[in-house]
Amino acid sequence: MKPLEGSTISILGLGASGVAAARLALIKGGKVYVSDSQVEPSAAAGATELRSMGARVELGRHDLERVAGADTVVVSPGIPPDAPVLKALKAAGRGWVSEPEFAFRFLNGPLIAVTGTNGKTTTAAMTAHLLQESGAEVGLGGNIGAEFGPPASGLALMDPTPDWFVVEVSSFQLAGIVDFKPTIGVVTSLAPDHLDRYPSVAAYYRDKGRLFENADPGSQWVLNGDSTAVEELAGDAQGIRYRFSLWETGDVAPPSETHAFLMDGDLILRLPGEDAEVLLPAGDLPTLGLHNVGNALAAALTTGLTGQGASSIGAGLRTFRPLPHRLEVVAEADGITWVNDSKATNVAATSGALNSLAGPLVLLLGGKDKGEDLSPLREAMHGGVRRVVVFGEARHRIAAGLEGHVELTLVDGTFELAVDLARACSEEGDILLLSPACSSFDMFASYEARGDRFSALARGEA
């Protein structure tokens, strides 16, 4: 008998995660109803596939009676908590789960779950790469994006089962967990974000903190030892804690509770009961920026906890290739280096990029306003930032927040105009950096589309 034989599953949302959850539910024997309030070509394509597999699919509406009557309701991360369908479910006394929670019920192997405000995609991808380079079979997916791996429900269908699952999880997904429990949980960073969806920073942090909800004494946690917010997020959760840190105080090692760190220019791994070992010099990492050193330390420590050795981890770090839209060098022309950091969709990410690059810099900043506090950006405006070109919906608030701290150009026009003006401001030896600190949805469908357009303009493509 299949695990879901006779069970009814209702799935809200026909995005990638909704389609993946529906596919999993159908293969496991469930009776599946899928609905989406939108009618779009992408949703229609998913609907056609799922109908062919036996699902009932509706576009443009949710049948609330059918949804509320299902044994399990799975909600896609793109549906906000104040959506009418969720309000109606709550009023009816019905709960729901996220897609990773649903997938977790069918994952038959050890799980590494990576979350954090910034760095989680790079850390998850790097961890998977290090495990693979060490000879392990790995399933990488979750919130990581279709170009890097499937939603968690896709991983649950892998045959044979891999040695390790590595899943990136967002706050939106963690909000809907019940039994989700990683073997190793990783928190890369924590800073205000998504305040266009959450009523407060505390509410955002609470959802992130649900990673620890089902901790037990055998749980292992890899935490950013430089962040008091991450430490507070873990609270009194059960399990064993391991920390990584950008320590860097010459040849003096950090406290014993720090297990991966930067010292005298080298990345060091020091697992409990073992001698400290050099992984590689920081300058040999193929990724750009100091914050990516932190991501590498997190990935190395996580991989070390699976039993892999330092020599294998160090070799894997050398062969990892930077992910697109994350401090990605996309062109060099006329002495100007063009860097695409379109994934920097919040203030903390852009501040991290600025703190990682010495300059001289011309910075493209702007997009859809998330309502974040801009003071960290002001603090990150070091002397190497020669000019900031501000564009998009958030331009006036950002310009007002940075006035007097840096030379500004305010663009009332297209993204292409903003890039042209940034190019005109740049000189030989400059880095022309797109690190917007905002989401892309005022001008583009995604941060990827924004980064791709920037990269095309950098290469002189129309």
| Catalytic residue IDs | 120, 143, 194
How far apart are the C-alpha atoms of 68 and 263, rounded to whole Å?
A: 55
Q: Are strands 72-75 and 138-142 parallel, antiparallel or unpaired?
A: unpaired
* Secondary structure (DSSP) of 219-254: -EEEEETT-HHHHHHHTT-SSEEEEEE----TT---
User: Can you tell me the distance from the alpha carbon of 251 to that of 154, in angstroms, rounded to the nearest whole number?
Assistant: 45
64's tokens: 């609330």
Q: State both tokens at 39.
A: 């009618």
Distance from C-alpha of 145 to C-alpha of 409, rounded to nearest angstrom: 33
142 near 168, Cβ under 8 Å? Answer: yes
In order of 33, 68, 74, 210, 344, the CA distances from 93 in angstroms are: 20, 9, 15, 21, 38
31 token code pair? 């009776």
Q: Give SS3 for 263.
A: strand
Residue of 197, 167, 234 whose CA lies nearest to 82: 197
- The two most distant CA atoms of the chain are separated, in Å, by 69
Question: CA-to-CA distance for 83 and 99, rounded, in angstroms?
Answer: 17
